[in-house]
Amino acid sequence: MSLPGLPPASDAAKIIADQDDSQTLLQESGKQTLEQAIAKAREEVDRFDNIVLNIAISGESGAGKSSFVNAIRGLKDIDDGAACTGVVQTTRGYSPYPHPTMPNVTLWDLPGTGEPGFKANTYLKNVNFQKYDFFIIVSATRFRENDIMLAKEIQKKKKNFYFVRSKIDIDVQEEAQKGVTEGQTLQAIQRDCEKNLREIKSPHVFLISSRDLNRFDFQKLIETLETDLPENKRQAFVLSLPVYSQQSLEKKYKTFKKSVWALAIGSGAVGGIPVPGLSPAFDVAVVVSFLMKCYYSFGLDDKSLTKLSERVNKPILDMVKESSLVMAIGSNSFLSTKMAARLGAAGAIETACTFVPVAGNIAAAGISFAVTRSVLHEGLDELYRVAQQVLHMAELE
């Protein structure tokens, strides 16, 4: 949600400056002055909506790239929009797979180096190297010479890359039949990968099962990527991940919570503009857009919940429908009506205030800021509570 028609930061600061909420605003923004806080709010809102993240997934045919692309987008291999998987080569070019609910995040399923038209020495040029924020190199067995050559080329160009050893659950199961413990199997695979990649300085190697992201090194991979990504990319990455544990849900909740103050500032600034009806309409649009993002990122949409219900064989969808807010978001027009009613009384007061020069504008801005901030927090907390119940019922805590 962009913030059209906002006054400059200095003017917006004057509008909000006399409000009791200004101290809270400074605390949440981490800035010393209102001008600085409002400038940061603009950056935060832009990041919330417009930051583009492109993730490259490379590896030989059969390595499990497509399954990994699907898993990290919260999809099964059989879902609509999923990357094609199979025992034969499925990636003959480099294929973009937009995130199903966050179109600014795209995973690119790249062919392996050495495949026809994608030789190692020209690979990066052929796949449009500069497009990607980082690379994940996937293998289901040993990393091959071409994988290592690719990593070296990426390293020369000073971009981050990570090795993912896939299908670990299959290895663990097979070794268990021989009496080998899971811990022993994981240690052996890790040592073999590190030995295999000894030509790479300090390689990042993660053991992953795309069938179960809650096991093995997936969380470690996510934490590493979060640390390595610049701040403006980190938020998009966190919000795009599937909810697979309480920890992943908590990160999403905290990320959304950090954006509330910035969206409320936009509401406060518009609230001080003496155009009757502008602020209420803007506030409804801000709240609806924000709650829709929370709804999908928390996995509370019918499609996500149906898949989860089938997976754990429990009626989770029925339980979630007990939340009136979740039901309202499921019908976007109803949500707009619900939020318009929730914000309507404050809007009427704001409109009346704008007819009083200067002081009225200040009062209108303060009302808009406080009310929008409150509604955003309430909605976020309600959806977070429901998502926690979903995790508890699915036993994914």
Residues found in the chain: 397
Q: Which pLDDT score is estimated for 247?
A: 87
CA-wise closest residue to 45 among 236, 266, 229, 237? 266
Tokens at 227, concatenated: 């640390």
> Does residue 365 sit within a domain?
yes
> Does residue 306 sit within a domain?
yes
Q: Which pLDDT score is estimated for 309?
A: 76
89 pLDDT above the threshold of 70: no
> Does residue 337 sit within a domain?
yes
Distance CA 17, CA 269 (A): 11
If asked whether residues 342 and 218 sit together in one domain, one would say: no
If asked whether residues 259 and 377 sit together in one domain, one would say: yes
If asked whether residues 40 and 60 sit together in one domain, one would say: no
Q: Which pLDDT score is estimated for 13?
A: 45
Question: CB–CB of 54/128 below 8 Å?
Answer: no
What residue has token string 């406080």?
A: 370
If asked whether residues 89 and 234 sit together in one domain, one would say: yes
**183-200 pLDDT tens trace:** 999 999 999 998 989 888
**244-301 pLDDT tens trace:** 788 889 989 998 888 787 777 755 443 333 333 334 444 567 777 888 889 889 988 8
* Number of domains observed in the structure of the chain: 2
Please compute the mean of the pLDDT values over residues 53-69 and round it to a whole number. Answer: 87
Across the chain, mean pLDDT equals 75
Q: Which DSSP state fits 131?
A: G
Let me know the angle formed at the C-alpha of 86 by 84 and 90, rounded to the nearest 5 degrees: 55
The better pLDDT of the pair 49, 178 is held by 178
Of the three residues 219, 239, 259, the one that is the final residue of a domain is: 239
12 pLDDT above the threshold of 50: no
If asked whether residues 167 and 202 sit together in one domain, one would say: yes
> Does residue 2 sit within a domain?
no
Segments forming the whole domain that contains residue 135: 52-239
Please compute the mean of the pLDDT values over residues 27-42 and round it to a whole number. Answer: 64
308 pLDDT above the threshold of 90: no
CA-wise closest residue to 126 among 111, 105, 139? 111
Distance CA 242, CA 68 (A): 12
Distance CA 190, CA 143 (A): 12
If asked whether residues 300 and 354 sit together in one domain, one would say: yes
If asked whether residues 40 and 66 sit together in one domain, one would say: no
The better pLDDT of the pair 8, 361 is held by 8
HSE of 154, CA atoms in CB hemisphere, 13 A: 29
pTM of the shown model: 0.73
Query: What DSSP element (H or E) covers 304?
Result: helix 302-312
The better pLDDT of the pair 120, 10 is held by 120
- pLDDT-based confidence at residue 306 (cuts at 50, 70, 90): confident
Distance CA 21, CA 145 (A): 59
